[in-house]
Structure 1
């Protein structure tokens, strides 16, 4: 590889950056219900933005390619990410566009209910992400809300020499196993939350990992909220659990885990150490209001990583 083709970033997230409005409520409102609360903060969000910031927190060079409107929230979203060390130079500002946003209900325990309001601007079109940009990254992490869009980017990233990391969401994967299998075939790291595990494997985390690795994924990380996370490859399996903490807000915890794991892994750390870093970052994330507020708290990843309980787990048996 010549100096001209050496990747300039470790992790390139391609996807969204949002604005999150947090409302503290006495209980999470359900159908035909009402919960009157108070606005407690407005923060930057977005799964891709959160992942890139967490990768940077883990020590990786991180970049985000997103699309925002020319409104004040869009400008603030990019400026804040840049201040947090994420390269946003590949992002697109759409003239007259409105940056997408979320309204998040938080109950007294810190659990959330999130409503996303997708505007005409959320992610860049596939043809707005050039091969030259993909070649700048060691790992490309496309947002997997739209599986066909993510498959196209993942295939192109692989063709341009990058590895691929994806985070699967239950609404995106439901009823779309063929597309999930194709995306897994193009992916090195696949992250699944409990909802995705329920959809893909009837709630069985080990079976979910077996299916995705059989489809071609190199590593699968299954997150379990308060119960920590598990990491599987064909050769090894690990579980990790964070320290007992007072949960303030669970928003973005999965993104934090995925970003810190990805950043650690691409820097050459072991699966066990990458899982420890991911769980530590997620633990730090939920101890603050807002999905990236932990970045401004002055607490290093090592502080929480020392308190993560890491154990070997039984190796997967059902991989084809």
Structure 2
């Protein structure tokens, strides 16, 4: 990352890059059960890494600040991202550290069960991400697994003239509404999945969006898997549905949607078009094994974009 341009990046994700081990199983293992399968593939993963790569796929200049170990998986994680055009030059390699990884069970339908093995190395400390680094981007997307960590970065990013995008996961937000509200207030884009909507608003995506916009978020996108995604602001709401695809693997689809939406939005495209780009990218993602395999498939997004249906939805009610 250079200092010649005050904003050389459009999107800077700050967070994780993992290695994902995919195992084909006859059924998803349950408590006190077994599912003996076979190793399908070893792929690069991580929510922040996936978001950065998808933002680049949408045409944005993207970067990632992460922490990896000095092991071979850590080197491969950064090399794969760099090969996809993601600037990883500010990432931290921890000598003697072990890069975190996930084991992903996949059944015959493409649905997954993911177990993350967090090692001593996953994300940089907030103090390792300088204000100078935050000033290199037009939008900063901190990983929101740790709401306090994310709020620190979001607040400093805002103070340094960047917009903020966050993706809220169910486990991170449960029982922590005050912190969620503070992070929403510091964010321009907030992404939620249906599980997050269940925690925050009893499963009602419109109510979830209204709560977060009332808290201060400018735009809220709620994803619904096969049911598409909705986008909400004070000025309007839209619903987009992707084409019917043969689902291979759902890993990273939400990250792909959030990254492509953020990349499109920061390039000045309307919310409706950004939603369409996000849903189209997620549709491409689930058709391949691995959260970023669609980037290597050589599949253009043009045809998929044309098959995404987009409709205006009723404006949100109850926004304060």
In structure 1, distance between residues paired with 2:262 and 2:105:
29
Please show how residues 202-241 of structure 1 align to structure 2 within 5 Å.
Answer: 202-241=202-241
In structure 1, distance between residues paired with 2:37 and 2:20:
15
2:97 is aligned to: 97
* Corresponding residue SS for 1:105: strand
Contact 1:222 1:230 (C-alpha < 8 Å) held by counterparts? yes
**What TM-score do you get using the length of structure 2 for normalisation?**
0.99
Deviation at 1:279, TM superposition (A): 0.1
In structure 2, distance between residues paired with 1:248 and 1:317:
37
Counterpart check, 1:135 vs 2:135: yes
In structure 1, distance between residues paired with 2:138 and 2:306:
28
2:268 is aligned to: 268
Segments of structure 2 that go 5 or more residues without pairing to the other structure are none
2:316 is aligned to: 316
In structure 2, distance between residues paired with 1:108 and 1:122:
30
Contact 1:64 1:88 (C-alpha < 8 Å) held by counterparts? yes
* Corresponding residue SS for 1:88: coil
* Corresponding residue SS for 1:85: coil
1:73 is aligned to: 73
In structure 2, distance between residues paired with 1:226 and 1:262:
21
Deviation at 1:302, TM superposition (A): 1.7
In structure 2, distance between residues paired with 1:62 and 1:259:
10
Deviation at 1:20, TM superposition (A): 0.1
2:8 is aligned to: 8
Q: Which runs of 4+ in 1 moved over 3 A?
A: none
Please show how residues 34-73 of structure 1 align to structure 2 within 5 Å.
Answer: 34-73=34-73
Deviations 1:57-91 (A, max 9, x none): 00000000000000000000000000000000010
In structure 2, distance between residues paired with 1:61 and 1:301:
18
Please show how residues 116-135 of structure 1 align to structure 2 within 5 Å.
Answer: 116-135=116-135
**What TM-score do you get using the length of structure 1 for normalisation?**
0.99
2:86 is aligned to: 86
Contact 1:58 1:301 (C-alpha < 8 Å) held by counterparts? no
Deviations 1:157-191 (A, max 9, x none): 00000000000000000000000000000000000
Segments of structure 1 that go 5 or more residues without pairing to the other structure are none
In structure 1, distance between residues paired with 2:190 and 2:239:
16
